Amino acid sequence: MAEVREEKIEIPMNGGQAEAILFRPDGAGPFPGVLHLSDIWGIRPDRKAMAARQAKEGYVVLLPNVFWRDTRLPVFDFTPQFGEEKTMKRIGELFAALLPPQMSEDAGIYLDYLARVPGVKPGGLGVVGYCFTGAMAIRAAAARPDQVAMAISFHGGGLYSDTAESPHTVLSGVKGRLYTGHAKEDRSMPADAIVKFEAALKAWGGRYESETYDALHGWTVPSAPIYHEAEAERAHAKLLALFKAEL
- Quick: pLDDT tens for 165-215: 999 999 999 999 999 999 998 999 999 999 999 999 999 999 999 999 999
pLDDT in tens, 125-162: 999 999 999 999 999 999 999 999 999 999 999 999 99
pLDDT-based confidence at 232, cuts 50/70/90? very high
pTM confidence score? 0.96
pLDDT band at 79 (very low <50, low <70, confident <90, very high): confident
Determine how many CB atoms are found less than 10 A away from the CB of residue 228.
Answer: 18
125 — phi, psi (to 5°)? -105, 160
- From 67-76, 79-88, 175-184, the region with the lowest mean pLDDT: 79-88
Q: Give the gyration radius of the chain's Cα atoms.
A: 17
Distances (CA, A) of 14 to 17, 54, 106, 153: 8, 28, 8, 25
pLDDT value at residue 29: 86
| Phi/psi at 232 (5° precision) | -65, -40
State the maximum Cα–Cα separation within the chain, in Å, rounded to a whole number.
49
User: Using the 8-state DSSP alphabet, how is residue 173 labeled?
Assistant: G
Residue 108, pLDDT above cutoff 90? yes
pLDDT band with cut points at 50, 70 and 90 for residue 80? confident
CATH architecture of 4-246: 3-Layer(aba) Sandwich (3.40)
Q: What is the pLDDT of residue 224?
A: 86
Side chain identity at residue 28, one-letter code: A
Average pLDDT on 47-75 reads 97
Q: From 40, 31, 58, select the one nearest 224 (Cα to Cα).
A: 40
Q: What is the mean pLDDT of residues 36-49?
A: 95
